[in-house]
A and B are shown apart, each in its own frame.
Chain A
Amino acid sequence: MLAGIVQLLQIVAPCLCLLSEQGITGIHLVDHFLRSKTCSNDLLLGTQTQHGLVNQNDLLNLECTGIVQTDGNIFRTFLLVPYVVPAIVIALVTRWMLSGDYGIISAWLQSAGWLDHRQSLLALPGPALCVVIIINIWRSYPFPMLIYWAALKGIDSAMYEAAKVDGATAWQIFWRITIPQLKDTTIILLVLRTVWTATYYDLIQMITGGGPAGSTTHLPIMIYQNSFGNPNIAYASAISVFLGALMFVFVVIYVKRSDFAED
């Protein structure tokens, strides 16, 4: 029973993972913020040089020709790659880099004295959980990134222009327009990612197999172990149903929130 409760708490791990994921996508927000900042200046310049009403997007293309604009697509493509790299390959590289005998990261940690000789991070319960979470983030951040990117593009530029005309600073524009406009997207992403991360099995299974000492076991791994490793189908089904019910709550929120109903 106690073990069961502990396993339940493992749901917290994916949630943590999720939060950090949102953090990474935050970089895009920063990027957007910086761009809107330069653009407000450009807009000033533009009006001064009789460009008159210049569309913010044109300005974006014209003036913010930094890395993000010109090579933005190459960069985006590159950042999307983790989304399609096979999970087994990621697991493989993780285990290779963290291998106690030959792994490059283990070598650094060992020479820094943070790990014993020939020891691997994956053999320690706490660090193993951290590793699994980090790898999960590495694997799954592209999806939220993509969606946020689209959402940012979808914000009506008229709102920004109006704010600028009213004399809002870049910070104010960011907090009062950009963030509220992303609220719905964030909720939907949280829902979707919770469902997917809490039920994602492949990576953890192949990196640690739930070990050491059950420290990285979460519900999907329990389902798998109970249905194939050491068959106890009834127990596995019970966990499945429980997990399903839990996830169903999130799916209902998603359906309610998305514009599916009006379609």
Chain B
Amino acid sequence: MRLNSVKTRTRLTKIFLAIVVVIMIVIVGLPLAWMALSSFKPSTELFKMPPSILPKEWSLVWYEDAFGNDEVIRYFVNSLIISGATMIVDVVFGTFAAYSLVRFEYHGRKTIMMGVLAAYCIPPIMLMVPLCRIIANMGLKDSYIGIIIGHLTVTFPFTVWLLMSFFRKIPKVLDEAALVDGASSMQTFALVDLPLCVSGILSTGIMAFILSWNEFLLSSVLISHDYMKTLTVGMSTYISSTEINWGVLMALGTATTIPIVLLFTAIQKYFVEGMTAGAVKG
């Protein structure tokens, strides 16, 4: 008797959860699915009112349009260069910074940690005016270095913060054992701690890449020439022109989102680990 009631209850719970899950999936997935579907519709269907859900005829015409354009290829290359460089600088310097902040005792360590946290919390919109002026006065506007510096100011604190949480998880006993065995602190870092953190460091790097790839505000301010535009800035110029080319934009949007989502899916396990371990604790 009791067993039965428990079973029905469990089943009811499952059904309820299934409904919630389906609703959430629809809310999250629908806009993105609609974008992808729209990008495969030929213009006769794209601009039909009322619109049909699935394209009757799948076409790649918008993708051909988008990628037949040299400008768009240029945007992709720019985005790749900038995000890649940001990622590398973030990871290299971030690893050293985070390691030293977690492992060593020195004067001003707490202040630096405070600074990292403050920089992480300061919103880009407030950095924008001074940063833009500084970079412009240095003559780095419309150059890769200028934009990369801009992206670093946004992503670096986040990288350090995330990496700190990974290093914190390594027990100090390991370091001590290495020291007892006669390893220098550089050897301890390179041979003991670093290998243990590789997955965390890689996923942090990919997160930095994603952040930089998605960045819009600073890039839009720092870039005025067409040939330097990143994907996000390029798309925004398409969107703000009076005659919006929806088909190309949908294709571009899909092409921009897919690599990011794939990358994120690959690293989400470590990202979740890092974010929930160190970023915010109750």
Contacts and interface: CB of A to CB of B under 8 A. Distances in A.
Interface of A: 27, 30-31, 34-35, 37-38, 41-42, 44-45, 63-64, 66-68, 73, 75-97, 99, 101-102, 104, 107-108, 111, 138, 146-147, 149-151, 154, 181-185, 188-189, 192, 195-196, 199-202, 206, 209, 220, 223-224, 227-228, 233, 236-237, 240, 243-244, 247, 251, 254-255, 258-260, 263
A104 B34 contact: yes
A75 B249 CA distance: 29
Interface string B255-271: 01100110011001100
Given A86-B214, A89-B256, A244 B126 contact: yes
Given A77-B268, A247-B123, A259-B281, A224 B14 contact: no
Contacts of B29: 78
A67 B17 contact: yes
Interface of B: 3, 6, 9-10, 13-14, 16-18, 20-21, 24-25, 27-29, 31-32, 34-35, 38, 46-51, 113-114, 117-118, 121-126, 128-129, 132, 210, 213-214, 216-217, 221, 231-232, 235-236, 239-240, 246, 249-250, 253, 256-257, 260-261, 264-265, 268-269, 272, 275-277, 279-282
Contact of B9 (A38, A89, A192): A38
10 contacts: A27-B24, A87-B232, A96-B34, A104-B34, A149-B276, A220-B125, A224-B125, A240-B125, A244-B122, A263-B113
Contacts of A94: 31
B214 A84 contact: yes
Contacts of A247: 121-123, 126
B18 A67 contact: yes
Contacts of A188: 280, 282
State the 9 A-B residue pairs at the shortest beta-carbon distance, nearest first.
Answer: A150-B276, A199-B123, A184-B282, A185-B282, A86-B214, A66-B14, A220-B125, A107-B50, A89-B253
Given A85-B32, A96-B35, A154 B123 contact: no
Given A85-B32, A199-B123, A96 B128 contact: no
A192 B235 contact: no
Nearest to A85: B257
Given A85-B257, A196-B123, A146 B276 contact: yes
Which among A44, A79, A202 has the highest number of chain B CB atoms within 10 Å?
Answer: A202
Contacts of B17: 31, 34, 66-68
A66 B240 CA distance: 46
B123 A89 contact: no
B210 A84 contact: yes
A99 to B, nearest CB: 8
Contact of B35 (A89, A182, A263): A89
Contacts of B121: 192, 195, 247, 251, 254
Contact of A240 (B126, B236, B275, B276): B126
Given A89-B35, A154-B282, 4 more contacts: A78-B29, A85-B260, A92-B235, A93-B34
Which among B14, B51, B123 has the highest number of chain A CB atoms within 10 Å?
Answer: B123
Given A85-B257, A87-B216, A251-B121, A30 B20 contact: yes
